[in-house]
Amino acid sequence: MNYYRIGSLACVLLLCGCQAPTPDQARLQPPVFQGQSIRTVPQLSDCIYRGWSTTSVIARDNTTHTQPAGSEISVFTWEDSIFADVSPHRKGAEVKYFTTFRMSPDVMADRQAIVQRCL
């Protein structure tokens, strides 16, 4: 009986894990953080990229990459589960920081602090 419950719980957890939202679905929700900068879109996205590539919480993240889309540049990390959309705003740029799921508070705070320092 207990094996049945454990097996059922494991299946539910696996199915839930496979259904994490995509970046496009995360963008339908309010961003975790949003801010403006006097930096240009390439300058701001490059700062975030460099900061996210090596952080105090994660020594080296080889999954960090950028994806240009017209005048916007998105910076992705941690297998696309954390990302920032950088777009033109007045005489600078605007950043919207998203996650596809809630993760460790240390990781969330570290990545958000890097975005804020880049502003």
- DSSP secondary structure of 20-42: PPPHHHHTTSPPSEEEEESS-HH
Domain-located, residue 35:
yes
- Cα separation, 37 vs 39, in Å, equals 5
CA atoms lying within 13 Å on the CB side of residue 87: 7
Is residue 3 assigned to a domain?
no
Note whether residue 16 is domain-resident.
no
* Number of domains, the chain: 1
The arithmetic mean of pLDDT across residues 15-34, rounded, is 82
Q: Is residue 10 part of a domain?
A: no
Find out whether 67 and 74 touch, Cβ atoms under 8 Å: yes
User: What are the pLDDT digits (tens) for 74-112?
Assistant: 999 988 999 999 999 999 999 999 999 877 888 888 999
Range of the domain at 58: 21-118
Q: Which residues pair with 36 in a beta bridge?
A: 94
The dihedral through the CA atoms of 28, 30, 31, 36 has a sign that is positive
Model confidence, pTM: 0.80
At residue 63 the predicted structure's pLDDT band, cuts being 50, 70 and 90, is confident
Q: Is residue 14 part of a domain?
A: no
Tell me, what CATH number does 37's domain have? 3.30.310
54 part of a folded domain:
yes
